[in-house]
DNA sequence: GTGAAAGCGCTAACAC
DNA sequence: GTGTTAGCGCTTTCAC
């Protein structure tokens, strides 16, 4: 049976290389694999290498995979919505992984846990060397499965409640601290939060971080207005903000768990005849593309998702190399980008507003990366 | 040698299913494959199916691939920048393909043609059943390669000068016609173009479409101001617009080949003290997320990249099924979304401006999908 | 240090 | 209809 229906001649096999070099296939195999090359005498090795090169030989990854159980393939599980946050993560991960000879299988994760397991089993059947999970909830059965099966896996963007697998995340609490500090500095005391889905660490930890940050300023966090958005969308942000504004007319600032939610807050403010930042200041999270161009330019907590993707790739490679290795947690430090959506509250008694900016270039508050 | 270092027991093999069902492996193979199931007597088939189910058996795709040369894998080649246009294309393609049992290998294409070929050969070595090319230039060596090797492949978003492979694209010329018609209707005559890279069909065909549309209105297209941006970025859009505005102070409207370029035009206008749309109207292309929120809301030509991805998946599946099949061209019709970046020219004599809008909901000019 | 041989798990001729 | 057999292309024991 022909592999291709047309007459293209197939790739040369290892056997052909062996014949060309006048050695046995097993010798070719040893010579071609850097790890076993030392088993072969130098002169033979170079003869084999040359023959392989002239024939344009490349090892058949499928056959090798069948034999070794490894594939140089990694699976990446992404939520089924194509958002601005996962694209750069994917991009960063692919860049790094392809440099190390891995190919990336991208799969959108179904919401049904049963189907999720099925998906992962399918990837395992393909002998993926490891998995990147960008979708976990705070206690995810997929993680249990990977652990049970001994599948190297790392988390990105979202982490679990207890660290069972290595992960790369942003310091969500620190991000909220940056946001709240900034608002308090401007003179705000009535600060509200639009939380993201609490089953994800981002939603949960940002909410917790928000409350902690309030406490640190002596503000009663338990009494702070907070509405939870069901998903990270502009629509849900708008709906949550509407509920919030109806119940708490006194708020002068809203910290949203995410830029999309913040833009929903814009919608709600516009709809209720409030002006941002004059009546209400708004802070987002992520600093996704174009939020500098919306009106008013969004003050937000910047996360480098691209960098997250790259570091995730690094962690995964380590997990593949050393399956029993320690669980690592890489926590990237976010940065506050001050634009025009935050200002002094209407009747503030604080010192002069320092948040408003004239130019496009944002003021950066801090930037560093920590490994824990 | 153990597949997994820990004690997880491996998946059951076909042999085990055969034993459980009391038949030979080849019978199991036949019974499990819907295409060959008819070769097996009904009762045996169901016995096999049941045994497979109780054991939790799933065929090993690697072993099957080695034997058949097929893999249920498709490769998708994407430009190495993570942009808003390719994410939804990818998303749509993955959705459709995974429904048909394909997994998607995503690869970012290097700019060096040599490396590109290497990349594709790597994918072929993995036995990908087909390729989606989102990166082609108007005459691309990768297409020649796929044709020579008989690799099923389809193009998306960008097409070649002559249709050698099936493709799914937006009707770029029609998009420009929508834009120009709209501007002329508002009273503009001095209309300029910021073109995208001309080696890509999008840049080339949009420019050509722009000129044709001018001709249709009796405007001398050859004399129309046009600057070419080297890449589809805000920065390049800004630079091109600066050149344009310096040389042609008379322009009252600019049609950009893409939203990012249009936002760069915004930058240039702001910088030179011009107001949009009062001094200069601007039209974009793509309708990417958030361009409704920038100030002023961008009038643009909407393309559904998600739908493009889905239709590409369909075409690829056809190409895989019938490698000798006809070259198909799916041309999606774009829609003009009128927002606030277009208005009557300053001293226009035309009828009342109808472009300005109060609400957020855009006016849709036309929508339909054509197959050619 | 190199060759021989087995076998990864499956499919598809070929027998009967 | 079902079983037998060969082999996809490689890696890795095991001999020597």
Strand, coil or helix: B10: coil
> Which of chain C's bases lie under 7 Å from a protein CB?
1-5, 7-13
CB of B55 within 8 Å of a chain A CB? The answer is no
* Helix H or strand E encompassing B28: helix B25-32
Give me the pLDDT at residue B348, please. 54
CB of B271 within 8 Å of a chain A CB? The answer is no
DSSP tag of B1: -
Give me the pLDDT at residue B9, please. 53
Give residue-wise pLDDT tens across range A329-348.
Answer: 999 999 999 999 999 998 75
A275 closest CA partner among A198, A222, A342, A210:
A342
> What are the respective helix, strand and coil percentages of chain A, to the nearest 5?
40, 15, 40
Interface test with B, best of A82, A114, A340 (most B CBs within 10 A): A82
The percentage of residues in chain A with a pLDDT greater than 90, rounded to a whole number, is: 87
Alpha carbons A104 and A102: distance in angstroms, whole number: 6
Interface test with A, best of B120, B237, B293 (most A CBs within 10 A): B293
User: For the residues A143-161, what does the mean pLDDT come to?
Assistant: 96
Give me the pLDDT at residue B359, please. 33
Give residue-wise pLDDT tens across range A349-364.
Answer: 444 433 333 333 344 5
Alpha carbons A261 and A229: distance in angstroms, whole number: 8
Alpha carbons B183 and B215: distance in angstroms, whole number: 14
- Buried b / exposed e over A50-77, threshold 16 CB at 10 Å, is ebbeebebebbbbbbbbeeeebbbbbbb
CA–CA distances in Å: residue B69 to residues A124, A143, B60, B243: 20, 33, 13, 54
CA–CA distances in Å: residue A185 to residues A107, A214, A341, A348, B219: 44, 12, 15, 11, 57
| Concatenated DSSP letters of B263-315 | HHHHHHHHHTT--TTTT-EEEEEE--TTTTTBSSPPEEEE--HHHHHHHHHHH
Give me the pLDDT at residue A355, please. 39
Give residue-wise pLDDT tens across range B264-300.
Answer: 999 999 999 999 999 999 999 999 999 999 999 999 9
Strand, coil or helix: A74: strand
CA–CA distances in Å: residue B173 to residues A85, B19, B136, B303: 32, 63, 19, 13
Q: B255 CA to chain A: closest CA distance, Å?
A: 19
Give me the pLDDT at residue A11, please. 85
The percentage of residues in chain A with a pLDDT greater than 70, rounded to a whole number, is: 90
Which residues does chain B have within 8 Å of residue A323's beta carbon, measured at their own beta carbons?
A: 5-6
Give me the pLDDT at residue B4, please. 40
Which residue is closest, via its CA, to the C1' of C1? A40
Least confident interval from A10-14, A61-65, B26-30, B298-302: A10-14
Alpha carbons B257 and B210: distance in angstroms, whole number: 9
Could you say which residues from 58 to 87 on chain B have a Cβ atom under 8 Å away from some Cβ of chain A? 58-63, 65-66, 68-69, 71, 73, 80-82, 84, 87
Give me the pLDDT at residue A311, please. 98
Put simply, the answer to whether B5 touches A108 (Cβ < 8 Å) is no
* Residues by Cβ under 7 A, strand C: A 1, 23-27, 30, 39-41, 44-45, 63, 66-67; B 10, 13-15, 25-26, 29, 32-33, 36, 57, 59-60, 63-64, 66-68
Partners of residue A195 on adjacent β-strands: A228
Instruction: Provide φ and ψ at A182, rounded to 5°.
Output: -60, -45
In order along its 372 residues, chain B shows pLDDT tens digits of: 333 433 345 689 999 999 999 999 999 999 999 999 999 999 999 999 999 999 999 999 999 999 999 999 999 999 877 678 999 999 999 999 999 999 999 999 998 999 999 999 999 999 999 999 999 999 999 999 999 999 999 999 999 999 999 999 999 999 999 999 999 999 999 999 999 999 999 999 999 999 999 999 999 999 999 999 999 999 999 999 999 999 999 999 999 999 999 999 999 999 999 999 999 999 999 999 999 999 999 999 999 999 999 999 999 999 999 998 999 999 999 999 999 999 999 875 444 433 333 333 344 544 334 433
Contact B289, B91 (CB under 8 A): no
Alpha carbons B346 and B351: distance in angstroms, whole number: 13
| Concatenated DSSP letters of A87-98 | HHHHHHHHHHHH
Q: Is A273 left (phi over 0), alpha (psi -120 to 50) or beta?
A: left
Residue A141 has pLDDT above 50, yes or no: yes
* Helix H or strand E encompassing B18: helix B14-21
Partners of residue B75 on adjacent β-strands: B105, B131
Contact A329, A341 (CB under 8 A): no
**In the complex, which nucleotide's C1' lies nearest to the CA atom of residue A17?**
D9
Contact A72, A103 (CB under 8 A): yes
Strand, coil or helix: B169: strand
A89 closest CA partner among A305, A367, A324:
A305
Alpha carbons B97 and B103: distance in angstroms, whole number: 7
CB within 8 Å of A322: residues ≥ 6 apart: none
Could you tell me the pLDDT band of residue A272, with boundaries at 50, 70 and 90? Answer: very high
User: For the residues A117-129, what does the mean pLDDT come to?
Assistant: 96
């Amino acid at each position: 049976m022909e592999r291709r229906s047309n007459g293209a001649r197939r790739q040369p096999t290892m056997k052909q290389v062996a014949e060309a070099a006048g050695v046995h296939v097993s010798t070719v195999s040893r010579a071609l694999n850097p790890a076993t090359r030392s088993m072969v005498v130098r002169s033979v090795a170079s003869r084999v290498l040359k023959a392989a090169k002239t024939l344009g030989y490349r090892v058949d990854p499928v056959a090798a995979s069948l034999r070794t159980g490894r594939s140089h393939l990694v699976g990446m599980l992404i939520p089924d919505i194509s958002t601005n946050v996962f694209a750069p993560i994917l991009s960063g991960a692919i860049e790094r992984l392809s440099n190390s000879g891995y190919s990336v299988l991208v799969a959108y994760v179904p919401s049904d846990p049963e189907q999720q397991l099925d998906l992962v089993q399918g990837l395992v059947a393909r002998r993926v060397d490891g998995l990147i999970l960008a979708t976990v909830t705070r206690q995810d059965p997929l993680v249990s499965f990977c652990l049970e099966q001994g599948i190297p896996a790392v988390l990105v963007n979202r982490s679990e409640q207890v660290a069972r697998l290595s992960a790369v995340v942003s310091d969500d609490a620190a991000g909220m601290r940056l946001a709240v500090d900034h608002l308090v500095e401007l003179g705000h005391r009535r600060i509200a939060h639009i939380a993201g889905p609490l089953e994800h660490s981002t939603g949960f930890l940002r909410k917790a971080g928000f409350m902690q940050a309030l406490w640190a300023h002596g503000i009663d966090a338990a009494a702070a207005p907070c509405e939870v958005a069901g998903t990270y969308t502009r629509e849900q942000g708008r709906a949550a903000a509407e509920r919030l504004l109806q119940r708490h007319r006194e708020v002068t600032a809203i910290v949203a768990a995410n830029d999309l939610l913040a833009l929903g807050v814009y919608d709600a403010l516009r709809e209720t005849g409030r002006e941002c930042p004059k009546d209400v200041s708004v802070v987002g999270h992520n600093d996704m593309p174009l939020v500098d161009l919306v009106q008013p330019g969004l003050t937000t907590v910047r996360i480098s998702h691209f960098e997250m993707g790259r570091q995730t790739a690094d962690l995964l490679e380590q997990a593949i190399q050393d399956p029993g290795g320690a669980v690592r947690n890489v926590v990237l430090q976010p940065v506050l980008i001050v634009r025009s959506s935050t200002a002094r509250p209407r009747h503030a008694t604080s010192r002069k507003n320092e948040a408003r900016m004239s130019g496009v270039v944002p003021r950066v508050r801090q930037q560093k990366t920590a490994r824990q």
